[in-house]
Amino acid sequence: MSRMILISGLLAGVFNFAAAVEEPCPAVPEESRITAVEEYLKGVRSPLPEERIREFLKALELDPDAAAPLQMLQHTCKAYPAKAKMIARGLLDVAEKHPGHPVLSLTAVQGALRFVPQEENRTEKLISDAVSQTEAPDRLAGAARAAYFKLAEMELNRLIRAKKYEEAFDLTECISDQFSHPEILFSKWQTEIAGKAMRQAPDSRRLLGLQRSERSMWRERFQDAIEAVRSGEKDITRLDTARQTAFFYVKNGCFNDALRIAENTMKRQPGNPDAEVLQITVLMQTRHYQESFHLAEKLNQRIPENEGALKILADSALRSGNYATAGKAGEKLQNFPKQADFGRFFMVMAALLDGKSDQAAKTIRKIRDPQLKLVLEMQLLSRDRQDRTQIAKLERLARDPKFKGQDGILLSMLAIAERSGDVKLLEKCWSSMEQRGMLKEPENANNIGYVAAVLNYRVPDARKLIEFALERVPGSNAYLDSLAWAEFRMGENDLAMKHIREAIEASAGEDSIGVILDHAGDIALKLGHQAEALDFYLQAQGDYLSQELDHAALRAKIRKLKLKKGLEQ
């Protein structure tokens, strides 16, 4: 137990802390001390003089565990913001001398982040020092333990932002080793770090630029992280913890584990709508769309006119291709004032996916949220595969010497070339990017190679560009998909299937891979594997927001295979 300052001396107006700090802590409950400090500050009619603030800071410097002066300084910051900067810098000075005291360090860090953000370097160093220099963290209790965990989380976030994944992972292992029963939080951190280290590619369109996927480099760490979570499953009793764990499994591609968590939660909490929603959500995230839709229908029948049940019904209906049901669920959602735009969103997407563009345009005009309206207008525009107006505008910009973003324009034009099937526009982009030296970048080389493969133009040259990109960025899901598609165009179907499977595996945990799954279906169909092709197409259908996927063509392929399968049966 550390020594504390006599609260009676504070309330009496005696602020000679250098002497008082040597006295033992009186037997006063912590709550009483805090209340006393708050009462004292209420009686102060003017800001504390700087001399008195310095005495508080001096007291903390002599005894970093002293609670009373720390409380006084915290409340002074709140009561008198004009003094906050001085106090924040003073606390940083004191905490830097005593980094092994979590409560003091955390208070200093929080004050610095709020009042002196320009001291970012000092703040980050203090966080790092506090985590590494706190002695025996396993014996901490109460506020000190909570402060230490918060500082550790800040340090981990800093390491992740800096992409220092090895250090971040080592930190979680070090912390976990110091506690006989490590909290699920540490397992969460380990999984998140492994996931971010392995898979940095966003789930946006490939032509906006997919970054490197590092799954192969982090396979061992990934398995360690997953095992850490699995070992902590026995401690999962709360629904929110089950939800968090299931979603982490999904993000890291452990679909069976996620499904097991959802099923076990349902067994433990039968009849709980939230547990049912978790199971439906996990089924959607693991691309079991038909099953998720049937469960969502049952939930909606049991609790009709419930906005949560209607939302998940509409979402699962869109992913499973039941557009009429999605539209009706969206119409019902409009009856809830706060959900009206959500309802219209589902109505618009159902109409677009069902090929009813005019109906979608009418609903878009009713949407109030300007951002959502813009997103849906772009969705409507992306369904136009012959956007000549946009092509002409971009070509004018590309010729304008005042415009400095030619690289971005070329990539946009390339995307339009793919969507419109314009080989001449592709050749223009290819030639311009080659002249500008842009094809030395793996991302650009892949973009040109992929679009050329899609348009079946100069495929051998396109394949060389894609192989160059894969040499620089091995294991990229986007680049593997591009290679598979080029091989498919060249008739090398077995090799194409091998690489498309690798692309799907490298995409584990990503939401928007409809194009990759669509390609897998086409390759499987070429090899005569009709059942597998249909399964790939149905999974691709769930990516209903993809602007790169030709949804009308996909629906036609699904309809044709289902009809053929029915005739065979």
Contact assessment for residue 407 and residue 397, using Cβ atoms and an 8 Å cutoff: no
pTM of the model: 0.64
Nearest to 278 by CA among 290, 289, 292, 257: 292
Alpha-helix residue ranges (DSSP H) falling in 400-476: 406-420, 423-435, 442-454, 459-472
pLDDT in tens, 163-192: 787 788 788 777 766 665 455 556 666 667
pLDDT mean values, one per 10 residues, the chain (569 residues): 29 28 33 44 53 83 84 78 86 91 92 89 92 84 85 87 79 70 59 60 32 46 66 69 80 84 88 91 92 95 90 94 94 90 94 90 91 80 59 56 58 77 88 89 92 95 94 86 96 96 83 90 95 94 86 91 67
DSSP state of 415: H
Beta carbons of 65 and 3 less than 8 angstroms apart: yes
Tokens 């397992």 found at: 187
Number of Cβ atoms within 10 Å of the Cβ of 319? 23
Report pLDDT for 6.
28
| The pair of three-digit structure tokens given for residue 321, joined into one six-digit string | 């291709």
Cβ-defined contacts of 492-495 (< 8 Å, 24+): 493/523, 493/526, 493/527, 494/527
As given in the structure block, the two tokens for residue 527 are 């090899």
Per-residue model confidence (pLDDT) at position 190: 67
Residues 214-221: contacts with CB within 8 Å, 24+ apart?
A: 214/475, 215/475, 215/506, 215/508, 216/474, 216/475, 217/475, 218/165, 218/194, 221/165, 221/169, 221/193, 221/194, 221/197
Could you give the CA distance from residue 64 to residue 2 in angstroms, rounded to a whole number?
9
Output the CA–CA distances (angstroms, integers) from residue 539 to 206, 251, 292, 297, 554, in the order listed.
19, 17, 12, 19, 11
Burial readout 62-97 (b: 16 or more C-beta within 10 A, e: otherwise): bbbbbbbbbbbbbbbbeebeebbbbbbbbbbebbee
- Indicate if the alpha-carbon torsion angle 541, 544, 545, 550 is positive or negative: positive
Q: Residue 321: left if φ>0, alpha if ψ -120 to 50, beta else—which one?
A: left
CA distance 483 to 459: 10
- Could you tell me which residues are beta bridge partners of residue 199? 213
Per DSSP, the residues of 258-271 read: HHHHHHHHHHHSTT
Q: Determine contact, residues 487/495, Cβ cutoff 8 Å.
A: yes
Q: How many CB atoms lie within 10 A of CB 181?
A: 7
188 and 230 in contact (C-beta within 8 Å)? no
* CA atoms lying within 13 Å on the CB side of residue 171: 26
Complete DSSP assignment for 331-378: HHHTTSGGGHHHHHHHHHHHHHHTT-HHHHHHHHTT---HHHHHHHHH
State the DSSP code for 82: G
Report H helices in 178-236: 184-198, 219-231
pLDDT tens track for 42-99: 444 445 667 778 888 888 888 888 887 888 788 777 777 778 888 889 999 999 999 8
Distance between CA atoms of 184 and 191, rounded to whole angstroms? 11
pLDDT (0 to 100) of residue 24: 31
Write the pLDDT tens digit of every residue in 147-166. Answer: 888 898 899 888 878 878 77
d(CA 452, CA 439): 14
Which amino acid, one-letter code, is at 459? Answer: V
Q: Where is 501: in which H helix or E strand? A: helix 493-506
Cα torsion through 517, 523, 528, 530, rounded to 10: 20
Q: Which neighbouring-strand residues pair with 213?
A: 199
